[in-house]
Amino acid sequence: MDIEFFDPQKHDYFLEEFSKYSREPKEFEKEFFREFLEARVKEISEVSGISDDFKLYFAMTDESVMGDDLPINRHVHGYSFAEWMEGFDRDILMIRSVRDRENWKECLVNMLAHEMAHQEFYSIREKAPYSNWFNIIFEGIAMNRAEQVAEELGIGWQPDYRSEKSVSVSAEDIISVLDENRSYDPQSIFMNGEEPCEFAEGYNISYRVVKDITERKGMSLEELLKLEDSVMRKEVEESVDGILS
């Protein structure tokens, strides 16, 4: 892994959703986080088997822009891109974080594991997850992989949406839009429930669906990722129906 710290002048082309909440780390923050990130990424790679051959762009969250009333997993956030995507020549993670809020370390490890799991998806599937059913696999793999990492490293904290809590949407509603492309409309299954990183039902459903498939079929996350599209799509619908009906 290579680390480059966010510089708003140099990285003005970055994803707006990342850069508008980010600031350049100060020198003492760079020193602290370089050591912290290198150690955590190494641990995650060792316990998960996911490659650490990527470039990490790291920023501090600009809390004056973010606001104080949002959950920790909005103050610690990330994105992932594959080298085969247009405009990239290397696998990329973009992560921003704080270091002064409760559970920030645990949340940052979770975010690193989550985004590294997206890299695992990209390396095996070599295509972007456009449809809702494919995004259920995409996000569900990441959350279940992050959960495995947390268990291996003895981390007790977890995001609210990584749970068995009930959701208000029905199996029929989800199944009816499985083949539609994922959108960021407020009514999208990944966006409804107000604050998307705290309550969004689509993330909770993704976590539960992937867990159900792997337990029901007795397969690993990597084995699930290697299924044919038609088989994977069928398994998603079966799990949605079983969990939410």
Helices (H) and strands (E) in the chain, counts: 11, 5
The mean pLDDT of the chain is: 90
Instruction: Determine the pLDDT at residue 198.
Output: 43
CB contact set of 150 (below 8 Å; sequence gap of 6+) = 106, 109, 110, 113, 156, 157, 158
204: nearest Cα among 131, 147, 130, 153: 147
C-beta of residue 199 within 8 angstroms of C-beta of residue 112: no
Other CB atoms closer than 10 Å to residue 153's CB: what's the count? 15
Radius of gyration of the chain (CA): 18
Instruction: Determine the pLDDT at residue 140.
Output: 95
Instruction: Determine the pLDDT at residue 193.
Output: 47
Q: Which of 23-27, 172-176, 181-185, 214-218 has the lowest mean pLDDT?
A: 181-185
Half-sphere exposure of 50 (CA within 13 A, CB side): 31
Q: Band of the pLDDT at 111, cuts 50, 70, 90?
A: very high
Q: Between 18 and 245, where is the model more confident?
A: 18
Residue 191 pLDDT greater than 70, yes or no:
no
Instruction: Determine the pLDDT at residue 199.
Output: 45
What distance in Å separates the CA atoms of residue 182 and residue 180, rounded to the nearest whole number?
A: 6
Residue 230 pLDDT greater than 90, yes or no:
yes
Q: Between 93 and 195, where is the model more confident?
A: 93
Tracing tokens 């299924």 back to the chain, one arrives at 227
